[in-house]
Structure 1
Amino acid sequence: MPHNNKPVNGNDTPSFLDLLNQMQPPAAELDGKHGTNRLAKLRAAWKESWKEGGFLYQRWEEVLQARQGSWHDAATWIKTSLLLGGLSLIVLMLDAAGDVVSAALKGLSDVPATSGGDGSGLWATVDQPIRVFLADQAAHLAVAPAALYAFWQLTGLLGLVGGFFGNAGARIAWLLFGIGSLAMIWSAAPAGGRAAATGLAALMWALASIFALRGLTLRPIVHNHPPEFQPQFNPALHLHATLPAPTPVGDDLGPDNVHPLQR
């Protein structure tokens, strides 16, 4: 590493390592031991670098200026540190989110597709036909019934949460989720209670749509904008008057400036 032998308060400020190599410890601390010698040099370099114009002093001044200035005026090492820290944080968040989603999918896939708890209650009336329908369809497909049921739950959850935050794709997924659920319930529910189960599912879906379709309106939006090319009329009255030229001073008519009447 090249060393800067210029003084600390000069134009080129030496780094902390340069100061450490240049510093000589006080004579009282030189007792012949290598460890004490290194510690004394380190202490002297630390004190020198915090003096006005020192390496650490200037770095601290750059930090204080970055708090009050703009991003463009900040020092390069501050920008680099913040960017590296932000990228590291994003990577950690993505890694944690991947673990959470993986655990959620694994937990959903472990739920048996044909078990509906005790088989009673309002939710079981809606959920049990869907489990039965997916289990019957999975027998003809190369997929497990639990995977189909987990995908159905995940689609509804993403549609509900994304629709609440106004995402258009999530709201479309929520609409398709509700229509598909009603079709599955109508197909797999017992014949005697098919209409009741489908109607109950429609009411539950409508109540959940209050949150998923929050802010959505069917009223037409009317924009009252003026025509792009609108002729403008600015009437103006122009009067042209001719004023006589002023008579020059000291003409041939005399000092009294009297003009004779001419016919």
Structure 2
Amino acid sequence: MTHNDKQPINGQDNPNFLDLFNQLPPEPPAPELDAHGAGRLGRLHAAWKTSWKEGGFLYKRWEEVGQARHVSWHEAANWIKAALLFGGLSLIVLMLDTASDIASATLKGLSDVPASGAGDGSGLWGTVDHPIRVFLADQAAHLPVAPAALYAFWQLTGLLGLLGGFLGNAGARIAWLLFGIGSLAMIWSATPTGGRAAATGLAALMWALASIFALRGLTLRPIVHNHPPQFQPQFSPALHLHATLPAPTPPGDDAPDNLHPLQR
């Protein structure tokens, strides 16, 4: 298979790795080959050198790599785009696999924490945290999951929502809002009637203070962008009058005496 001396950058002329073997010189007769196959090695060495010469297979590929830095994505060679896509997909799969391992280890570590570690309900944090532990423990009795796992998932959701919201992630901010609403509902449901309003209000204040960081930069005011038009037509009124002046009457013409030619 032969190629042109200059291959298009847009990938219309797709390279083939088998072209490298087509540059092998003709095989010498059998008597010239020694027992170690030195003739074949020589042919491979000659093909390698030929491919790096101007117009060779590897020479063209190296030129395409250098030109890919100065052209757009659509103008790059197809084999370069395929290699970049394959590398990018492999990196994404590796990152997702690593993230799943980290999340699994984090959940396992948090689930080892006893659900009743701070179950006495003393202090401000105990006033908010204890009803949530009690609510999750009651609900876990009807679910195929341990109370510690539910409590660990609740903690992880709040932590990710707080950190992700601080970084400006929209999904993390939605998770933070749902985390706060769910926490207030659990506290209202599990707190005794006498202190239900105070505990829920205290939890709402704590959640509002933490939202200063989780919802940093969020505003309800609409953003209006006033961009002046790039083209402003200019209107210049003008009045144009066109008058046709008759030609003067030559002497001796029988024109009426009451008609006189217009003079400038």
| TM-score (normalised: structure 2) | 0.69
Tell me which amino acid in the other structure corresponds to 2:153: F
Change (3 A) 1:120 1:222: closer
**1:60 deviation in Å?**
0.8
Between the aligned partners of 1:183 and 1:53, the Cα distance in structure 2 is: 73
CA 8–170 in structure 1, closer or farther in 2 if over 3 Å, else same: closer
Matched, 1:56 2:51: no
Residues 213, 187 of structure 1: alpha-carbon distance in 2 compared, 3 angstrom cutoff: same
Amino acid at match of 2:22: D
Contact persistence 1:164–1:212 (CA under 8 A): yes
Q: Which amino acid aligns with 1:83?
A: L
The aligned residue for residue 24 of structure 2 is 20
Name the counterpart of 1:45.
Answer: 47
Q: Is the 1:23–1:45 contact (alpha carbons within 8 Å) kept by the matching residues of 2? A: no
Distance in 1 (CA, whole Å) between partners of 2:90 and 2:25 is: 34
Partner of 2:36: 34
Asked if the contact 1:163/1:214 (under 8 Å) is kept, the reply is yes
* C-alpha distance in 2 between matches for 1:72 and 1:140: 57
- Change in CA separation of 1:224 and 1:16 when aligned onto 2, cut-off 3 Å: closer
1:229 aligns to what?
none
Q: Which amino acid aligns with 2:23?
A: L
Q: Partner of 1:262 in structure 2? A: 257
In 1: Cα distance, 2:224 partner to 2:4 partner: 68
Say if 1:142 and 1:240 are closer, same or farther in 2 by CA, change over 3 A.
Answer: same
2:204 is aligned to: 202
RMSD: 4.3
Cα displacement (A) at 1:189: 5.4
CA distance in 1, matches of 2:214, 2:6: 66
Structure 2 residues without counterparts, runs of 5 or longer: 8-12, 227-234, 259-264
TM-score by length of 1: 0.69
Q: Kindly indicate whether the alpha-carbon contact (under 8 Å) linking 1:20 and 1:42 is maintained by their aligned counterparts in 2.
A: yes
What is the CA deviation profile of residues 16-72 of structure 1, one whole-angstrom value per residue up to 9, with x for unaligned ones? 222235376xxxxx7824243333222221111111111111111111111111222
Is the 8 Å Cα contact of residues 8 and 54 (structure 1) preserved in structure 2?
Answer: no
Match of 2:69 in 1: 67
- Counterpart position of 2:184: 182
Q: Which amino acid aligns with 1:129?
A: P
Cα distance change of structure 1 residues 222 and 19 upon mapping to structure 2, 3 Å threshold: closer
Cα contact 1:159–1:171 (8 A) shared by 2: yes
Q: Is 2:143 aligned against 1:145?
A: no
TM-aligned CA distance change 1:94 to 1:21, over 3 Å: farther
Distance 1:259 1:173 in 2: 104
Relative to structure 1, the CA distance from residue 176 to residue 48 in structure 2 (aligned partners, 3 Å threshold; closer, same or farther) is closer
Q: Determine which structure has greater relative contact order: mean sequence separation of CA pairs < 8 Å that are 6+ residues apart, divided by chain length.
A: 2
Query: How many residue pairs get matched?
Result: 239
